[in-house]
Amino acid sequence: EGVGPQEYTLIKMEAIVLKGKLSELEGHGKVFLMAATLRPETMYGQTNCWVLPEGKYGAYKGLNDEIYVLTERAALNLSFQEKTPVRAQPECLLELTGQDLIGVPVRSPNSIHERVYVLPLLTILTNKGTGVVTSVPSDSPDDYIALQDLKKKPKLREKFNVLDEWVMPFEVIPIIDIPEYGSMAAAKACEDLKIQSQNDTTKLAEAKAAVYLKGFNDGVIIVGPHAGRKVSEVKPIIKGELVAAGQAIIYSE
């Protein structure tokens, strides 16, 4: 961990259907799962959203009558950053577990899919970010391996009540070209290191470091309005566009 505060972009993924326990929020405002990312320029490649099944989350009052779903810890931090109606007092409208969120269809900025689904990721830390993570399997080894795990293991899907249709139709989307890695860098890094599952944490950390550095320094974005430009150049631009459009907020911890 670094010394200074870490800044994340929180991507607002709107719940399209308030299923199960979330239905208690019906009529209270738009509900957004707030995914913390360091890579806002990769949102073109989203295939799903991740939560920790046994993690504790809440639906909190946000700005403009919106509702934000994240951990209590993140809601408190946000409230000190003037991103909730009352400073230092996040208002929880509904307590949730990750399992309550699994299977919720969400609409997310810059996604090529009209809807993607909330799926379980077992390596999410609840003391980092918001506990909600957006999944970009082309460029994140964690996301790639976890999605393959769910695709390959019917028992894993069953355990968390995941329907095939939330997982199977979603393929890796090439969005960034990296010299020596190609346009599905995370998949290549995982294959090179022979990573078998999301529990291979040591090798995953290695894959992540390699792809992250290469992608930022040498990657070229190949989709969207900024296609052809370097990742290092477009990252702040895309982040600014998302924030200006009200589709993301900046968060530090």
Q: Least Å distance between CB 37 and ligand A2H? A: 4
Beta bridge partners, 34, equal 12
> Smallest distance from the beta carbon of 88 to ligand A2H, in angstroms?
23
Within 194-253, the residues that bind ligand A2H by CB under 6 A are 208, 212
| Pairwise CA distance, residues 59 & 92, whole Å | 6
Query: Are 220 and 177 spatial neighbours (Cβ–Cβ below 8 Å)?
Result: yes
Of the ranges 38-46, 80-88, 146-154, 165-173, which one interacts with ligand A2H (CB under 6 A)?
38-46
Site membership for ligand A2H, residue 33 (CB under 6 A): no
Beta bridge partners of 9: 37, 250
| 92 lines the binding site for ligand A2H (CB under 6 A) | no
Q: Is 139 in the site for ligand A2H (CB under 6 A)?
A: yes
CB atoms within 10 A of CB 243: 15
CA–CA distance, 137 with 145 (Å, rounded to integer):
8
Site for ligand A2H in 142-171 (CB under 6 A): 143
User: Which residue's CB atom is positioned nearest to ligand A2H?
Assistant: 129
Is residue 68 close enough to count as binding ligand A2H by CB under 6 A? no
Name 252's bridge partners.
7
Q: Which of 59, 133, 184, 207 is in the footprint of ligand A2H by CB under 6 A? A: 133
Nearer to ligand A2H, 133 or 220 (CB): 133
Q: What is the dihedral of CA 139, 74, 104, 188, to 10 degrees?
A: 10
For residue 100, give the 3-state DSSP assignment.
helix
- 70 contributes a contact to ligand A2H by CB under 6 A: no
